[in-house]
Amino acid sequence: MMKKHTLIWITGWIFTGALPASSQHVPLSRDYPIQPVAFTQVHVHDHFWAPKMKTNTDVTIPYTLEQCRVTGRVDNFLRAAGKLPADKFTEYTFDDTDIYKIIEGASYGLQVKKNEELERYLDTLISYIAAAQEPDGYLYTFRTMKAAKPHPWIGSKRWEKEEDLSHELYNSGHLFEAAVAHYQATGKRNLLDIAIKNADLLVKDFGFGKEERFPGHQIIETGLTKLYRVTGNQAYLDLAKFFLDVRGPGKPDSKEYNQAHKKVTEQHEAVGHAVRATYMYTGMADVAALTGNQEYLEAIDDIWHDVVEKKLYITGGIGATGAGEAFGQPYQLPNMSAYAETCASIANVYWNSRMFLLHGDAKYIDVLERTLYNGLLSGVSLSGDRFFYPNPLASMGQHQRSAWFGCACCISNMTRFLPSMPGYIYAQDENNLYINLFAGNTAEIKLPATTVSITQETDYPWQGKNGITINPAKTAAFTLRVRIPGWAVDKPVPGDLYHVQEPAAKPVVILLNGKPYPYKMEKGYAVFHRSWKKGDKLLLDLPMEVEKVLANEQVKDDVYRFALQRGPLMYCLEGPDNKDSSVQNIVVDRNAVVKAEYRPDLLNGVMVLEMPGTATKRQLNSHELVRTAQNVTAIPYYAWANRGPGDMTVWIPYDVYAATPKAAPTIASKSRINGSLRNQRMFKALNDQYQPKSSGDHSAPYLHWWPKKNSPEWLQYDFDKPYTISESTVYWYDDGPWGGCRVPASWQLYYKKDGEWVPIKFLHPYPVTKDAYNTVRFDPVETTALKMEIQLPEEHSAGLHEWTVK
């Protein structure tokens, strides 16, 4: 029989960052000095976030639940329960977590608005999960189903490959978070009991002197602290701390990628997989708050400075490289190849919210807000059913939102995050009430002095005016702390990674009951300590000036460029709004006047920015560029890629040196392209005249056949008219040693003659040199088409950056 636990309600998390929907309160011996106000106590009614949360409820959650059914994720549980044959399974050993995360998101929605049909469906899913759980609490469908040919990542016995790829503990972490959310939404124990049974097994199996393994992918730490907060079982908090302390050298698979290269208290720089890392830093903050561990705090304080001052995109995204979905080196922030995974942005919000609760400094909310409105929100389409995994800051049409991913972690993560957004607006510390974010809402907050009803009326982020009405249940003294965003005082982010070109002309204006009122600034907050009475009204007017943001000169990818910021929003240029659907060729003077205009009919209503600029274009047989004046339009970054694939850039060249001029008309650029690729968007890379820095240059568009290996492939140029040709050049794509592409085993050119393909005669072997142009010169032939046949390497795929014809 499983142990019975006394369930207690506490002021704590239902992570994503909000509080339990309960009025009961049993304090823990230690906790965060500041507590968030539960999202269930905050009712958002604005024109920005409310529609997005409604789309998540009405579209995204039903859509993702259906995708989990059709892709076999639900069937994994039925196979583990013996209700379906174990003849197949889904692609990844962590696919179970998509079910858990969507249950979590749906449960958050149920806390705000009851939905009996959805609640019944969740109960059905939970019954499948219960049936898949083994008697001792083990819950991992990929092993329990006992497939004839098991997934290669699971190992021969439990936990054997946990440090690497099995994700058994990662699955448990998301199970715990879902279970707590569902229990708090419905009062039902059906999923919570499953989670407790699984957690008790982990307590039995793991610990010093028992299984001394660390989780390969962190999340179990926050899942356990969350379960601890609801059950009061100290063993869960102890186990969370163990999973942090057991990391380090000497363990199997210890490396920077999974943050196990050092003990966690000895880590002072952000390295490795960005999602794993920020989940771990979040877990360290939780355990530190609950145990008073000062060494954890010192480590994550240093890591935070490393990220914010050297490794943060202007959109709030983190994780510069797709090689390991990882943090790059300091100031390594490429734009077109930016990974900036949606999951990493969500984790960045979690982490910065904890840092604020520990330190009470607005700078953490500055980072949180920047991420929230830009690098996180860009992860889901306006329609709610198309998604980004990476969130690049530039594109030449090779990026587009997808309906689903085989690895669907970002999609299910978004479904669980959006309903909890109101939980980041307010926080409290005794009689200190913090206003951190600005959105039209009403909230009811219990302070020791009195219960306070608070209302915000604002058109943020489009306008900076916010009327904040304070209605205490009785006249009482307490302190109101109103965040003054860093962007409003010419500080895009803490540190010197980014700075504005010119200070804003307008100051922040704050009036109390229509008149100036003395206040002091503390840690980024305007502090009002007074006796408040019903009907008191604060007017906060933030300057919504358009600012040009420049990057630290050590960020080489942003040299001779600026980014546009207005309020909390970053802007980008996108093809549909600009001449010839091109933006990489645009140059805008640093001193150009930028005007803002709200367009209710565009992208569900957005503020656009207009400015004069110049388009650049190459011409044949000349290094001189053709320059043409044009109007340039920018839209909010979060709204890009909702109108099909195309050009986009956040960082706008102010010097022609940084622009990519439009291609000159060549044989290749005027050709129609065909080939053995399903993703035809990649064809554009072949003739865009973009010069790669190396074969592994992810900032340059490229074409590839990954994951194909050892197969014959082909590409074809059909010319716009007959040409006499005598030379062709290829620049191969090769992302070794970590990626899956290498230069090809061999290749051959053919030209079309009388409807037949004739091989090009070349006296030497066709060159396959990495990091160089590979040229084949031959006797002139007249033709209307040229074909390339490529043999992929035996153990790798292959690709191309560029293919020219003379």
Q: Burial level of 329, CB count in 10 A (0-12/13-18/19+)? A: exposed
Predicted pLDDT at 625: 86
- In this structure, the answer to whether residues 559 and 628 fall within a common structural domain is yes
Which two tokens mark 598? Answer: 């709200």
- In this structure, the answer to whether residues 432 and 566 fall within a common structural domain is no
φ and ψ of 345, to 5 deg: -65, -40
User: Is 412:342 a contact under the CB 8 Å cutoff?
Assistant: no
- In this structure, the answer to whether residues 417 and 536 fall within a common structural domain is no
- In this structure, the answer to whether residues 320 and 448 fall within a common structural domain is no
DSSP string covering 753-794, please?
ETTEEEEPP-SSPPP--TTSEEEEEEEEEEEEEEEEEEEPPS
Residue where a domain stops, chosen among 401, 424, 447? 424
β-pair partners for 631: 612
User: How far, in Å, CA of 362 to CA of 347, rounded?
Assistant: 18
Least confident among 27-36, 190-199, 713-722:
27-36
Q: Which of the four pLDDT bands, split at 50, 70 and 90, describes residue 28?
A: low
The candidate with the shortest Cα–Cα distance to 792, out of 737, 690, 715, 682, is 715
User: How far, in Å, CA of 526 to CA of 177, rounded?
Assistant: 35
Over residues 51-63, the mean pLDDT reads: 96
Question: pLDDT tens digits, residue range 695-749?
Answer: 998 877 899 999 999 999 999 999 999 999 999 999 999 999 888 999 999 999 9
Q: 195 lies in which domain range?
A: 35-424
- pLDDT of 21 above 90: no
- Residue 312 per-residue DSSP state: B
3-state SS assignment for residue 163: coil
Over residues 252-263, the mean pLDDT reads: 94
- pLDDT of 23 above 80: no
DSSP string covering 70-117, please?
HTTHHHHHHHHTTSS-SS---S-TTTHHHHHHHHHHHHHHHHHS--HH
- pLDDT of 25 above 50: no
- pLDDT of 17 above 50: no
- In this structure, the answer to whether residues 416 and 455 fall within a common structural domain is no
Over residues 679-692, the mean pLDDT reads: 87
- pLDDT of 651 above 70: yes
Question: pLDDT tens digits, residue range 405-426?
Answer: 999 999 999 999 999 999 999 9
Predicted pLDDT at 680: 82
Predicted pLDDT at 192: 98
Q: What is the mean pLDDT of the chain?
A: 94
The candidate with the shortest Cα–Cα distance to 510, out of 435, 592, 602, is 435
Q: The domain that contains 691 carries what CATH number?
A: 2.60.120.260
Decide if 10 is inside a domain: no
- pLDDT of 358 above 60: yes
Decide if 95 is inside a domain: yes
Over residues 580-602, the mean pLDDT reads: 97
Q: The domain that contains 107 carries what CATH number?
A: 1.50.10
Q: How many degrees, rounded to 5, is the angle at CA 170 between CA 273 and CA 13?
A: 95
Least confident among 110-114, 244-248, 479-483, 645-649:
110-114
How many Cβ atoms are within 10 Å of 448's Cβ, its own excluded?
9
Residue where a domain stops, chosen among 541, 566, 586? 541
Predicted pLDDT at 762: 87
User: How far, in Å, CA of 158 to CA of 420, rounded?
Assistant: 34
User: How far, in Å, CA of 325 to CA of 511, rounded?
Assistant: 46
- pLDDT of 242 above 60: yes
Which residue do the tokens 């439009």 mark? Answer: 662
Residue where a domain stops, chosen among 374, 399, 424? 424
Over residues 521-529, the mean pLDDT reads: 98
User: Is 295:265 a contact under the CB 8 Å cutoff?
Assistant: yes
- pLDDT of 10 above 90: no
User: What would the 3-class secondary structure string for 318-382 be?
Assistant: ECCECCCCECCCCCCCCCCCCCCCHHHHHHHHHHHHHHHHHHCCHHHHHHHHHHHHHHHHHHECC
Predicted pLDDT at 723: 97
Q: Which of the four pLDDT bands, split at 50, 70 and 90, describes residue 679?
A: confident
3-state SS assignment for residue 448: coil
User: How far, in Å, CA of 307 to CA of 493, rounded?
Assistant: 11
Decide if 19 is inside a domain: no
Predicted pLDDT at 113: 86
Q: Give 3-state DSSP helix, strand, coil % of the chain, rounded to 5.
A: 30, 25, 45
- In this structure, the answer to whether residues 646 and 686 fall within a common structural domain is no
- In this structure, the answer to whether residues 411 and 434 fall within a common structural domain is no
Residues 6 or more apart from 188 whose CB is under 8 A from it?
123, 182
- In this structure, the answer to whether residues 306 and 366 fall within a common structural domain is yes
- In this structure, the answer to whether residues 143 and 44 fall within a common structural domain is yes
Question: pLDDT tens digits, residue range 481-502?
Answer: 999 999 999 999 999 999 999 8
Decide if 499 is inside a domain: no
Q: The domain that contains 525 carries what CATH number?
A: 2.60.420
User: Is 798:742 a contact under the CB 8 Å cutoff?
Assistant: yes
Predicted pLDDT at 12: 34
Helix ranges restricted to H, 113-233:
116-132, 141-144, 168-186, 190-205, 220-231
Q: Which of the four pLDDT bands, split at 50, 70 and 90, describes residue 603?
A: very high
- In this structure, the answer to whether residues 290 and 431 fall within a common structural domain is no
Which two tokens mark 537? Answer: 């009204």
Question: pLDDT tens digits, residue range 205-241?
Answer: 999 999 999 999 999 999 999 999 999 999 999 999 9
Residue 528 CA, chain-centre distance (Å), reads 36
Residues 6 or more apart from 1 whose CB is under 8 A from it?
none
- pLDDT of 197 above 50: yes
User: How far, in Å, CA of 700 to CA of 318, rounded?
Assistant: 20
Predicted pLDDT at 624: 83
- pLDDT of 11 above 90: no
Decide if 667 is inside a domain: no
The candidate with the shortest Cα–Cα distance to 103, out of 345, 422, 415, is 415
User: Is 499:492 a contact under the CB 8 Å cutoff?
Assistant: yes
Predicted pLDDT at 1: 28
Which two tokens mark 704? Answer: 């590839």
Structural domain total, the chain: 4
The candidate with the shortest Cα–Cα distance to 392, out of 575, 707, 651, 652, is 651
Question: pLDDT tens digits, residue range 312-340?
Answer: 999 999 999 988 999 999 999 999 999 99
Decide if 642 is inside a domain: yes
- In this structure, the answer to whether residues 160 and 207 fall within a common structural domain is yes
- pLDDT of 22 above 70: no
- In this structure, the answer to whether residues 113 and 258 fall within a common structural domain is yes
Predicted pLDDT at 251: 85
Predicted pLDDT at 622: 77
Decide if 26 is inside a domain: no
- pLDDT of 505 above 80: no
3-state SS assignment for residue 630: strand
Question: pLDDT tens digits, residue range 417-469?
Answer: 999 999 999 999 999 999 999 999 999 999 999 999 999 999 999 999 999 99
Decide if 367 is inside a domain: yes
pTM of the predicted structure, to 2 decimals: 0.92
